[in-house]
Structure 1
Amino acid sequence: MGDTVIFLSGAYRPFFPAAALFAGLAIPLWIASYASIVTPNSDPIMWHQHEMMWGYLPAALAGFLFTAIPNWTKRPPLAPAPLAVLFALWLAGRIGMFTAPEALPAQLIAAAFLPATAVLALRELIAAGNRRNYVVAGVIFALALSQMIFLWSNAETGLTAGFALTLVLMTHIGGRVTPAFSRNWLKARGAAKLPAPFGKVDQIAIIAVAATGASWVLLGLSPVTGVIATLATFALALRLSRWCGWSVRTEPLLFAQHAAYGWLAVGTAFLALSILSEGTSLAQAQHAFGAGAIGTMTAIVMLRALLGHSGRPIKATRFDTLTLCALHLGAALRVIADWASDPTPFYHAGGTLWAAAMIALAMRAFPIAITPRL
């Protein structure tokens, strides 16, 4: 009983290990399906797309939100009972979508998780009068809508909307925590140069990213989308350059945040290139956003939150550093694979590295999730 209470005492405890383990198991299944070794279910392509966007990511988001919201609002964390129900709903969705991805009951269960998450988050924000973060709950609702479009209307439009919304969300949250944590670390060490405060460059980058996402959804792969994505690439790169990333290179858990944010600029660059030039595919842009930005940013946020909220030093072990490096290298191999004459070895190597890194993260997270705060 005591272990159960501990496990449900914070949202990061059930969601972070489960999210990482799920990602680490889902990718090898997809690789095996792609290689025609096994067929995990009736629609492996749909399952792969859906489960990485609306299976893995929502678990990481829920863990982050319900861990961060008590800090934002000064309200108590989500109680064990609703947390257990929410986690069970997520798990039921994964089981349903694996066993019968085309069945309506499975889809309904899977589609219920994000609205439930958004409602619970909005309840806490409204109770605390925390209007600044209403936008986060709004994006979660929109992400739920994109899932419904994917499942019941147009899969391509839904997936594009999912990527666009996630790009906006990561630009917002990553742009808040990355310079803040770096500033605190550098200030504590008496550094003369600190990350630039929020200003015009940040506003332009956020607007450019939002415009890229909107154009991608509404206009598709039009030249207009390509031009806006190009502007967003430069804006994101300029924004990142003002955060003193090289100055924190000796602290892997900080430097990894800068590297993860860099994947956003890589993703918009590949999106622009896939539209405005030859030789670059949309799949490369999608995997730069997915395996690159989403994978690495959620991993570093989960790891930092696990350490900090469990009372452990927020400092990387050699195991953590290797895990993060494998994750980035796996994403990079998948993105460049489409430039190879035979991309298959890159698919396998990239997917294996990325999945192994996620399983390593789950192994790191689970003992923390079931032990009391230090």
Structure 2
Amino acid sequence: MSQLISKTPALLGLAFRPFFLFGGVFSAIAVALWIASLNGWLSFNPYGGSYFWHAHEMVFGFVCAIVTGFLLTAVQNWTGIPGIKGRALLLLLALWLGARLALAIKAPTIISATLDLLFLPAVIYCLAKPVITIKQYRNLLFVPILLLMFVGNLVSHIALWRGDFVTALQGIYGAAWLVVMIMTILGGRIVPMFTANGSQTTKVNNIPALEIATLASTLFVVLCQASGVAKLIPASVNFFVCALVAGIQFWRVLRWRFWVTTKVPLLWSLHISFLFMPLMLLLLSIHYFTLAWPSLSVMPIVTYSTAMHLLFVGAMANMILAMMARVALGHSGRPLIPAPIMSLAFIAIALAALTRTVLMWLLPSASYWLLNTTAFLWILAYGIFAIIYWPVLTRPRLDGKPG
């Protein structure tokens, strides 16, 4: 067994290693290409055009890579069955990389779409197999979410092929909303425990009724938004629903006691990401308020895209950075103490979220500078992560264990 371990490169020891590293690097490159193309600094004509590519790749390229790394690492802890590694992991990584390259260079549609669409089913197989083997069916709840994300990707490709950009974008947004459900489920599982352990305080037990209300209400919003049904519902109803769910999510987040985490970067960064969830829902409720009662609105109109970017850059990107920083240390046998410069990365990505959303909403005339500032802050945050965590993710565990 030890000989097999020694022959497997550390980078391929567990799924978090390559997907965190390549996913983080890819996100910085993708944002750089997007902002350079937007500013006219280079001619970039990827699959579907630069706007579709940017939206698609930040969800199905970047976010899906990190979700894959996290879930295919966590499933080993859940089941006790060794996670995907070595040659099998290399093939899965190659499929992801091949799809990213094909889309970027605008390879023939059949090649680009096929490579891209094969990835999530492969991940689902790797996730479901060990869970089914030991009949731990409660952890199969992530499988239908990933399946629906695959459907969203399929819709985006088919709609793009038919020239229906609105539906193509709906497929991408739909998948992003499903990640909200993943975050909501994981939040209740990990944040109270991480907070107690990291801050050396008593763990806050979940209130069953609050957890059910959070999961059920969030699921309702997610299904309405992901499916496009929300477009058929009166704006006034959407306003009340989003405001209600924002309040429930905010109550839940407050119970996790952000204030005890201020001296622990791996904790306060995680709490910030979950705080962006109710803030995103609040901003979305304001969007619907201005649609339902335009004469009552005294503020600039909040576009749907602005609210979604608070989800993308605020909740998702912050949680991803915080979780990668923690999981990479823990699963490589290192103390849960990040390099001091990671605090700058955490602050940068949080500021990027506010710059791209709240500031652009309140100062639309400064959109050009705010977009460029957002891109700079994102590249800074994930660039720091790539540099600091490169040796962590490419070298063996400090304790000599596999993984």
2:152 maps to 1:146: yes
Q: Out of 296, 301, 304, which is 2:323 matched to? A: 301
Aligned counterpart, 1:220: 230
**Structure 1 match to 2:206:** 197
Structure 1 match to 2:162: none
Percent of counterpart pairs with the same letter? 26
1:347 to 346, 371, 381: 371
Deviation per CA, 1:315-362, whole angstroms, max 9, x where unpaired?
A: 232111111111111111111213212211111001110121111111
Moved more, 343-352 or 30-39: 30-39
1:58 shift after superposition: 1.0
Alignment-derived partner of residue 269 in structure 1 = 282
Q: What secondary structure sits across from 1:36 in the alignment? A: coil
Aligned to 1:127: 133
Q: Distance in 1 between matches of 2:228 and 2:103?
A: 28
40, 45, 52: which one aligns with 2:44: 40
Is 2:310 the counterpart of 1:313?
Answer: no
Is the contact between residue 251 and residue 316 of structure 1 (CA under 8 Å) also seen in structure 2? no
Deviation string, structure 1 residues 79-107 (Cα, Å, up to 9, x no partner): 31211110000000100110117722111
TM-score, normalised by the number of residues in structure 1: 0.95
* 3-state SS of 2:41 partner: coil
Alignment of 1:1-374 (within 5 A): 5-42=9-46, 43-100=49-106, 103-153=109-159, 154-186=167-199, 189=200, 191=201, 194-216=203-225, 217-221=227-231, 222=233, 223=235, 224-277=237-290, 279-336=301-358, 337-340=360-363, 341-374=365-398
TM-score (norm 2): 0.88
Deviates more, 1:2-11 or 1:134-143: 2-11
* Partner SS state of residue 59, structure 1: helix
Q: Which amino acid aligns with 2:139?
A: N
Pair 1:114–1:152, CA change in 2 (3 A)? same
SS across alignment from 2:396: coil
Alignment RMSD? 1.7
> Could you tell me whether the CA contact under 8 Å between 2:13 and 2:86 is conserved in 1?
yes
Distance between the aligned counterparts of 1:99 and 1:19, measured in 2? 18
Q: Would the aligned equivalents of 2:16 and 2:70 in 1 still touch at CA under 8 Å?
A: yes
SS in 2 for 1:318: coil
Measure, in 2, the Cα distance between the counterparts of 1:330 and 1:269. Answer: 18
Paired residues of 1:17 and 1:363 also in contact (CA < 8 A): no
Bigger radius of gyration, 1 or 2? 2
Do 2:325 and 2:338's aligned partners in 1 also have CA atoms closer than 8 Å?
Answer: no
TM superposition shift of 1:197:
2.2
SS for the counterpart of 1:53 is helix
Q: Separation in 1 of the partners of 2:283 and 2:110?
A: 35
Higher mean C-alpha displacement, 36-45 vs 260-269: 36-45
| Cα offsets for 1:263-282 (capped at 9, x unmatched) | 11111111111111252111
**Unaligned residue ranges in structure 1 (runs of 5+):** none
Deviation sequence 1:125-167 (CA, Å, 0-9, x none): 1012111111112211111111111111321320231122111
Shift of residue 36 of structure 1? 2.1
Counterpart AA for 1:196? N
1: CA distance between counterparts of 2:313 and 2:6?
A: 36
Conserved? CA contact 1:219–1:225, under 8 Å: no
Whether contact under 8 Å (1:205, 1:236) holds in the other structure is yes
Aligned residue pairs: how many? Answer: 370
Distance in structure 1 (CA, Å) of the matches to 2:384 and 2:244: 36
2: CA distance, partners of 1:367 / 1:17: 10
Q: Which of 95-104 and 13-22 deviates more?
A: 95-104
What SS does the aligned partner of 1:109 have? helix
Distance 1:94-1:237 versus aligned 2 partners, 3 A rule: same
- If asked which structure has higher relative contact order (CA below 8 Å, sep 6+), I would say 1
Does the CA-based 8 Å contact 2:11-2:394 persist in structure 1? yes
Separation (CA, whole Å) in 1 of partners of 2:67 and 2:89: 14
Question: Which runs of 5 or more structure 2 residues have no equivalent in the other structure?
Answer: 160-166, 291-296, 399-403
Structure 1 segments, 4+ long, off by >6 Å, are: none
Letter in 2 for 1:124: P
